Amino acid sequence: MVKISITVDGERHEDEVEPRLLLVHYLRERLGKVGTVVGCDTSNCGACTVHLDGNSVKACSVLAVQADGGDVTTIEGLANGEWHPVQAAFKECHGLQCGYCTPGMIMAAVDLLANNPAPSEDEIREGLEGNLCRCTGYQNIVKAVQLAAEGGAR
């Protein structure tokens, strides 16, 4: 067992974990952050995307011990009492169907907009490239990111 200290959604946690425990399983099973979903366990789908020290990462490709000392934001911690503008834009543009990929898409979109506040459609598509959706065809997801970039989401 390895002792880790990690801040998740603004709350500090100290735990002992198996060295091979994936961050996604730590978040879901130890901390109850079930908004971070397990889609593939191979880092192909992006459903488990979270922010680690301000950058989006696929939590199924990061060990919990690698996040030691880090600051993690999950979909649950993204909004502080009200919806984040990207969440509101996804709702307004119906950028989801089944919703399984939505947390990871939103986390990737927030990171994209933090680095490029006015992306083109091509830049949005490229920025979300590592996140797969099997339901929507991506058009409404792209529209949602465009709306959030414009500041039009309520």
Tell me, what's the pLDDT at 82?
A: 87
pLDDT of residue 137: 78
Query: What domains are defined for the chain?
Result: 2-76 (3.10.20.30), 85-150 (1.10.150.120)
- Structure confidence at residue 153 (pLDDT): 64
pLDDT at residue 65, rounded to an integer:
98
- Scan for tokens 């990462």, then name that residue: 57
Give percent helix, percent strand, percent coil of the chain, each to the nearest 5: 40, 20, 45
Has this prediction a pTM greater than 0.85? Answer: yes
State yes or no: pLDDT of 63 exceeds 90: yes
pLDDT digit string, tens, across residues 87-124: 999 999 999 888 899 999 999 999 999 999 999 999 99
Instruction: Write the pLDDT tens digit of every residue in 24-46.
Output: 999 999 999 999 999 887 889 99
Mean pLDDT of 1-29: 97
- One-letter identity of residue 12: R
Q: Identify the pLDDT of residue 81.
A: 81
- Kindly state the tokens that stand for 92: 């307004």
CA distances from 80 to 10, 40, 56, 85 (A): 10, 29, 19, 11
